[in-house]
Amino acid sequence: MDKQEVRQKIESLVDRLNKYAHEYYVLDTPSVPDAEYDKLFNELVQLEGEHPDLVLEHSPTKRVGGEPLEGFEKVEHEIPMLSLGNAFDEQDLRDFHRRVTNGLNEEVVYICELKIDGLAIALTYEAGQFVLGSTRGDGRVGENITSNLRTVRSVPLTIPEKRKVEVRGEAYMPHESFVKLNELREKNGEMLFANPRNAAAGSLRQLDPRIAATRNLDLFLFGYGVWELDDIPTHSERLTYLTDLGFKINKEWKKCHSIEEVIEYVTYWTENRRSLSYEIDGIVIKVDDLSQQKKLGFTARTPRWAIAYKFPATEAVTTIEDVELSVGRTGVVTPTAILKPVFIDGSTVGRATLHNADQIRALDIRIGDTIIIKKAGDIIPKVVRVIKEERSGDEEPYEMPTHCPACDSELVHLDDEVALRCMNPNCPAQLKEGLIHFVSRDAMNIDGLGEKVIEQLFREQLVNSIDDIYRLEKEQLLPLERMGEKSATNLIQAIETSKNNSLEKLIFGLGIRHIGAKAAQILAGEFETMESLQQATYDKLVSIDEIGEKMADAVVHYFALEKVSTLLNDLRELGVNMTYLGNRRTTDETSGELIFANKTVVLTGKLEKLTRREAKEFIEANGGKVTGSVSKNTDLVIAGEAAGSKYDQAKKLEITIWDESQLEEAIKGVST
């Protein structure tokens, strides 16, 4: 090709790749497979390498990050990025509405938007090109982070509008990216990010853009500063126009014609915010009509036409009174902070996880420290930060022990782990935790045999190993605290019933390292009997989809132990089922693949004939992955009664939707 042909080829590839990226990252409607995008991208990289003088400023290759910066230059916002006033309850919202209506003396329409928990940013475009990206800073002066924002795939490098426009939004880190980043940091012995917001901010303030490029950040735009475009009279219409220009706007915004509708929207997302794939910390309510916004104006610090409803706090300040150690069933020693009780996110908490010794050192945890804790859902709170300026000098540094608190065996660091581990197989704490795991819901699910009862049985030396559970007699139970005739009878019956569980329950209950409930399901469906699984070779195991090398190695080593063979023989003699009773992994008659092979499935609404757990187990047994939220990566949604917003989102994205009868047909079609 001559120079002109190369230029035209590069321009064509850039246009196509940017179009495909926009479809994937902004619209959630990819039109080509990933392999096709990768092929074209590699072709562009090769051409640009051969002709560096022809590289375009809006080439997707620019998103991988350039050379490190020496520092961030300051940027003064042409129009200040002001903060919003806050509302914390329904009365605050009604007071806001009263102030708005008193100031206007006319009907008002509100726009409600999710308040994304990330880093506020501004993007400036001139002559259709992305020329500046900055942080909010103090609202008047921010930092130039253009190089880092170029790495965010949902930031358009060009737009079909030549006049100057500055759009504003929130850069954030999706939950999945946050979990993977912290897993990597923990593996590398680095301090964990406390939350996705800190991770996003830390990523965008890296002086090396190549680091930002690896963090899988995203953003939503919801506002504007400089607007030299056509006079569009409402905020909602401007959001639509920004979407037309190629910007990513959060689709959950809603126009509300009364304060009652606003409160309904707030209530819904307060209850359902954890169904999202990203963090939100509230709802922003704005007057839709821009002329009304102008009429209402500003206070010294905030607009009168908007307010931010803040969800109940998930962070709180308290004091570390002690550190308690627990030994898990695999021997991992985990430190837990004992706290001065504090009310947070609807409940009083007195404990917080400290992860491991490296995390204690990184946070510089001391007994008596004043700390910030964060609660996320039903998970035990974690320590986010020590408030060192509150120290009096009486705080005591904490060092992890060198020996197991339960059996006094020396603790060790395995090569690939951060955690300290007790290697004594007869450690009483490990034995007890193993029993608690065995009877748990996802394992053998023995009703009435919870943690406290196991602790009683273990303390009285009635149960020391798994097989002892199936040797219990009612007379042994009656002397136990809070164990009457009826309770003892029911417990013995529940133990007897558990003998009939399907094989995957037993596999998971045994507590094989690296084998979770899903892996146990896969192994049971593949081998069908415990005897076949015991004889499985490493090569056979790693050939199974979703069974990795660590899992295979753990299974082989576990079943090679003499004590395991003895345990399984005892369980067989005691009548415990060793056969897979669940849905067989079956293939589609035409394709030969598992019927849900490589499919991401979302269950929503109420199912009449199946429990959610049963449906999930069937899907996973047949190659599928069940997730909690609908996205561009979802292949199928199975909707029961009152399916709600997930059903609506699936329709928007044109994702295949089944009702329960179609799932029933799939189950009936499974060969036995």
Please identify every residue annotated as catalytic: 115
Cross-strand partners of 606: 641
User: Which amino acid is residue 620, in one-letter code?
Assistant: E
3-state secondary structure of 637: strand
Task: For residues 250 and 60, give the distance between their C-alpha atoms in angstroms, rounded to a whole number.
Answer: 23
CB-based burial label for 51 (10 Å; 0-12, 13-18, 19+): middle
Instruction: Write the DSSP assignment of 125-169 as a string of letters.
Output: EETTEEEEEEE-TTSSEEEB-HHHHTT-TTS-SB-S--S-EEEEE
Cα radius of gyration (the chain): 29
H/E run at residue 666: helix 660-668
Distance in Å from the first CA to the final CA of the chain: 60
Task: For residues 620 and 625, give the distance between their C-alpha atoms in angstroms, rounded to a whole number.
Answer: 6
> Could you tell me which residues come within 8 angstroms of residue 459 by beta carbon, excluding any fewer than 6 positions away?
none
Closest CA to 126 of 153, 154, 165: 165
3-state secondary structure of 639: strand
Length of the chain: 672
Q: In what order do the strands lie in the sheet with 218-227?
A: 129-135, 119-126, 165-172, 218-227
Residue 128: HSE in the Cβ half-sphere, 13 Å Cα cutoff? 7
3-state secondary structure of 215: coil
Task: For residues 583 and 562, give the distance between their C-alpha atoms in angstroms, rounded to a whole number.
Answer: 31
